[in-house]
């Protein structure tokens, strides 16, 4: 009797008796319904942000978020491909790369939003000048994006080269850890700014315009939306670190439910928060800022804003 045919799992290209589902990296066939729903949500968010950006002329914010939502959409398209063929190299590369770096765009939107809030409430109580929030944290975010995208591309295209796949994985982890560190520093600065601004508010040194802005329900909804996005992005990053450090095909990576909740739903919540509470109608000062960029001049230690 001839011995059973054996091939290396890395040579598998489709499910078969000698290439079982259990031998794939994820160990499951991604849910078609869930991933189609997530794809549809992010596609809708892409269109909505595009229309809102045109309507309210918040072009910078729209550009960043549209890139993020398109990346999310492509990632879930990759998971749909994996549903049809769990051994698909294209599906794996698409989802591992796009879903790893997409949240970096949403984080950038959060950083930019804080800069706009600081401009409204005054930079005197802020450790950093408003423009520095954008420059420093968006730069850090770009570094995280490059590391995660490069790592995802290396890991996804490693094929049978386990050493190369490990280098890609380590690069992705470095990018996510860097993003978590950046978020922690950002969160610390936010807490300090809130505490100082509250003290200034009690002492009566906050401008009447700022108080009027805070009194608007729309603005408070905008702030809540940014806070929700920050928390969900941070939670997603912590999950991704736990998922990746255990190596490929570890128990966390093979748990679809935790992935859907901590990756999919967290990013949906962040995307909805940044879209439903859009600054175009919740925080019109942002719209005016993008219509005509200001020039900051430091005079006697105070910041004077003048339109160009």
Per residue in 209-255, pLDDT (tens digit) is 888 888 899 999 999 999 999 999 999 999 999 998 988 889 999 99
Q: Is the pLDDT of residue 293 over 50?
A: no
pLDDT value of residue 287? 61
What is the 8-class DSSP label of residue 3? P
Instruction: State the Rg of the chain over Cα.
Output: 22
| Contacts of the segment 299-302: beta carbons below 8 A, 24+ positions apart | 302/124
Best-predicted range by mean pLDDT (23-37, 145-159, 198-212, 241-255): 23-37
Global model pTM greater than 0.85: yes
- Assess contact for 40 and 32: CB atoms under 8 A: no
Of the spans 69-78, 152-161, 299-308, which averages the highest pLDDT?
69-78
| Cβ–Cβ < 8 Å for 43, 99 | no
Work out the average pLDDT over 273-298: 71
Q: Quickly list H helices, 85-161.
A: 89-121, 130-156
Residue 119's nearest CA partner among 51, 39, 209, 48 is 209
Cβ atoms 172, 151 nearer than 8 A: yes
Q: Are 233 and 274 in contact (CB under 8 A)?
A: no
Average pLDDT taken over every residue of the chain:
87
Gap between the terminal Cα atoms of the chain:
86
pLDDT of residue 10: 67
Q: Between the CA atoms of 248, 260, 147 and 114, what dihedral angle is there, to the nearest 10 degrees?
A: -150
Instruction: For the beta carbon of residue 170, count every other beta carbon within 10 angstroms.
Output: 16
Q: Which of 143, 234, 221 is nearest to 188 (CA)?
A: 234
3-state secondary structure of 157: coil
- How distant, in Å, are the alpha carbons of 30, 42, 66, 80, 240 from that of 36? 10, 10, 19, 7, 21
Which of 17-21, 150-154, 228-232 shows the lowest mean pLDDT across its residues?
A: 150-154
pLDDT in tens, 34-71: 999 999 999 999 999 999 999 999 999 999 999 999 99
Higher pLDDT, 290 or 221: 221
Q: What is the pLDDT of residue 265?
A: 98
pLDDT over 70 at 301, yes or no: no
Return the exposure string of 221-258: e unless at least 16 CB atoms fall within 10 Å of the residue's CB, then b.
Answer: bbbebbebbbbbbbebbebbeebbeeeeeeeebbbbee
pLDDT at 275: 97
C-alpha 242 chain-centroid distance: 17
Who wins on pLDDT, 35 or 11?
35
């Amino acid at each position: 009797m001839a011995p059973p045919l054996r091939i290396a799992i890395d040579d598998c290209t489709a499910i078969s008796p000698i290439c079982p589902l259990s031998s794939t990296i994820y160990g499951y066939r991604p849910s078609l319904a869930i991933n189609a729903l997530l794809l549809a949500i992010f596609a809708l968010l892409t269109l909505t942000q595009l229309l809102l950006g045109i309507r309210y002329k918040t072009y910078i914010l729209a550009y960043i978020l549209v890139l993020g939502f398109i990346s999310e959409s492509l990632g879930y398209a990759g998971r749909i491909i994996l549903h049809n063929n769990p051994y698909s190299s294209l599906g794996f590369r698409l989802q591992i790369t796009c879903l790893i770096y997409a949240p970096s765009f949403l984080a950038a939107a959060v950083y930019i939003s804080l800069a706009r809030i600081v401009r409204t409430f005054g930079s005197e109580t802020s450790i950093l000048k408003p423009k520095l929030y954008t420059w420093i944290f968006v730069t850090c975010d770009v570094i995280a994006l490059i590391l995660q995208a490069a790592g995802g591309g290396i890991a996804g295209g490693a094929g049978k080269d386990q050493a190369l796949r490990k280098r890609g994985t380590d690069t992705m982890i470095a990018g996510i850890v860097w993003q978590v560190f950046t978020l922690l520093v950002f969160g610390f600065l936010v807490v300090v700014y809130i505490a100082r601004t509250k003290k200034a508010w009690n002492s009566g040194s906050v401008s009447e315009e700022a108080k009027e802005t805070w009194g608007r329900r729309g603005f408070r909804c905008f702030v809540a939306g940014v806070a929700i996005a920050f928390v969900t992005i941070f939670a997603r990053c912590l999950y991704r670190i736990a998922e990746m450090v255990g190596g490929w095909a570890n128990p966390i990576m093979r748990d679809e439910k935790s992935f859907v909740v901590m990756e999919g739903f967290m990013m949906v919540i962040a995307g909805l928060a940044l879209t439903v509470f859009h600054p175009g109608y919740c925080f019109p000062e942002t719209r005016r800022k993008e219509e005509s960029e200001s020039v900051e001049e430091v005079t006697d230690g105070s910041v004077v804003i003048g339109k160009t």
